[in-house]
Amino acid sequence: MNSEQTNREQRAARYAALADPARLHIVDLLAGGDLSPLELLARLGMTSNLLSHHLRVLERTGIVARTRSEGDRRRSYVSLRQAPDSVSSPASTVNASRIVFVCTANSARSQLAEHLWRTKSDVPVASAGTVPATVVAPGAVAVAAEHGMDLSGATPKLLSDIQDDGDVLISVCDSAHELLTHTELHWSIPDPVTASTPDAFEQTYQHLTRRIDGLLPQLAA
């Protein structure tokens, strides 16, 4: 079997997986952010066995992926990897007077997201933590500098000190998402501080870039 034929068969399998309305609904729900199976169940109104079946089909074809929570290891999150543009519909419009990126320590992921957002959008932005660290992680400062952003003067902040009515909260940390009663979107991004390598921080930067670029077309200020 040559590579061209293999590619056609893989594409056919993906389109077959998306031919079911329930699976299309799952893809649409994941277009803006990641959801746990329990969150999907609440929105879809189907049985857990049926949801498991649909997720297995979508996983086999590489459309979605499941990862274990860094916070509550009993939980997992489902994320959209890629769906054909001609099949998936745009995510719902996000109305925002200000975006607030939230993680636990406000020392890496949310700080990078805040400063990266400023390079791409005029919509006001801030970041904060549920349990702020004392300083921003040196690896975050370094990778930001490599991409033309200055985090040298950034300081971690407590979410309750800066949050206003109308803020759109985007959690970029599983633990923060699980602690807060509500966030508009959740992006399940591994903590680069755990590895504390330049590659880990670069991967976080690239992950945030993809997520932010995907969100901007949905934004209504």
Residuewise pLDDT in 10s, the chain (221 residues): 567 777 788 888 888 999 999 999 999 999 889 999 999 999 999 999 999 999 999 999 999 999 999 999 999 999 998 655 545 555 567 788 999 999 999 999 999 999 999 999 999 999 999 999 999 999 999 999 999 999 999 999 999 999 999 999 999 999 999 999 889 999 999 999 999 999 999 999 999 999 999 899 887 64
Give the span between the Cα atoms of 41 and 51, in whole angstroms.
7
pLDDT of 92: 63
The model's pTM = 0.89
> In the chain, count of helices (H) and strands (E)?
10, 8
Cross-strand partners of 129: 103, 158
pLDDT of 82: 66
Give all domains of the chain, ordered by start, each with its CATH number. 3-80 (1.10.10.10), 94-220 (3.40.50.2300)
Residue 55: CB atoms within 10 Å:
20
Is 157 in contact with 132 (CB distance < 8 Å)?
yes
Q: How far apart, in Å, do the first and last CA atoms of the chain sit?
A: 51
pLDDT of 23: 95
pLDDT of 11: 83
pLDDT of 181: 86
pLDDT of 86: 47
